[in-house]
Copies of this chain bind each other. A is one copy, B any other.
């Protein structure tokens, strides 16, 4: 069987996805892998034979350190869904496996979210079907924290830290004039509110925290929302609200669909959500006597390499390394998850999960972690999330800017 390895990145980037790549790379090399290739733009690029020999770029420990500190997908990404291999789609698999065999691949790693785990599931199933020796391992990655089986996902801790820090700064900024102001901050999360919930972490001795948190897990009512804002603003002038881009009405429509933006649909059938905060800010401004501001954290929240959680980067590196170990131990069709051993002191380890327990599924925020009037998070959530944002990994600043590693053209 082949002794080379190949690794790809898929789905939305995170600030720590390359730390997992570093973990996979070093783990494979230490276990005696021959060449280690990277797929450019994931499995979509692989089908076009767009690969890169990582050994040519990752030569020193300094390269690895830069890789760990480089946000966004170093190898590029894709949103490509493999067809069903039972049927006419099989020709895609034949083509892929033929190329993998040509490259003498024994170990295949895919770093991504629940859509990407679908790719590992299908490839490993097809591999078993044809008796291939290639081991297919999933490495979890998503700022959304919506993967099943794992306690949390690499990428979440850094995005959560970014959100908590930025909310703290925005709250200060919003209160500076002492005037009536409603600031509505839109945070990513299509169906799961993990990221928006992280706004609750901004509360500390030196910050009163956000005034309201709206998660997609709770059906949204615009009138109730405006009423709550009015009630809060009777107590204090500046109100800061964290709202998920994915909040939905009782009838299932996204709140942002109430505005008039065009929404394209991607390969996985996801609507593009945007404009929730703007719609709500306009609505509040129209109904209440107050200035409003909407702020979309947009892609800033997933690419902020300058503000990461060291806990997150360390775990991202660890799951990559554990995936390498598992593949060399003979496992296939699995994803490496994180198992929490204790909260205080925080300790975690990795464990393997059959890929079908993860692929295409979504883990939502438990309803019992949301407070009674659906405006904030309970202590259970804070206990869960706080350890994940601890400590920092300082970028290496060159001439005033964080230095990244990049692929030659």
Verify A165–B401 contact, CB threshold 8 A: yes
Distance (Å) between the CB of A283 and the closest chain B CB?
Answer: 12
Whether a CB of chain B sits under 8 angstroms from the CB of A102 is no
Assembled-state Cα–Cα distance A198/B284 (Å): 34
Shortest CB distance A256–B (Å): 13
Does A309 belong to the interface (CB within 8 Å)?
yes
Q: Given A170-B299, A400-B164, does the pair A307, B306 have CB atoms closer than 8 Å?
A: yes
Q: Are the CB atoms of A177 and B299 closer together than 8 Å?
A: no
A41-B177, A173-B303, A207-B406 known; 9 new pairs, CB 8 Å cut-off, are A40-B178, A71-B173, A79-B177, A165-B306, A169-B303, A206-B406, A300-B300, A386-B400, A390-B399
Task: Report the minimum CB–CB distance from A46 to chain B (whole Å).
Answer: 13
Distance to closest chain B CB from A117 (angstroms): 19
A79 to B394, CA, bound (A): 37
Which residues of chain A from 20 to 40 have any CB-CB distance to chain B below 8 Å in the complex? 40
Q: How large is the interface on A (under 10, 10 to 19, 20 to 34, 35 or more residues)?
A: 35 or more
Q: List B contacts of A165 (CB < 8 A).
A: 306, 401-402
Question: Does A226 reach chain B (CB closer than 8 Å)?
Answer: no
Stretch among A288-296, A314-322, A373-381 lining the B interface = A288-296
A298 and B293 in contact (CB under 8 A), knowing A77-B176, A400-B390? yes
| A361, CB-defined interface residue at 8 Å | no
- In contact, B76 and A178 (Cβ under 8 angstroms): yes
Q: Are A400 and B391 CB-contacts (below 8 A) given A72-B172, A169-B300, A170-B300?
A: yes
Q: Which residues of A contact B (CB under 8 A)?
A: 13, 40-41, 45, 70-73, 76-79, 161, 164-166, 168-170, 172-178, 201-202, 204, 206-207, 262, 264, 282, 285, 291, 293, 295-296, 298-300, 302-307, 309, 386, 389-392, 394, 397-406
Tell me the bound Cα distance from A77 to B181 in angstroms: 14
A295's contact among B262, B298, B304, B307, by CB below 8 Å, is which? B298
> What CA separation (Å) do A305 and B291 show in the bound complex?
24
Q: Which residues of chain B are near A299, meaning CB under 8 Å?
A: 170, 173-174, 293, 295
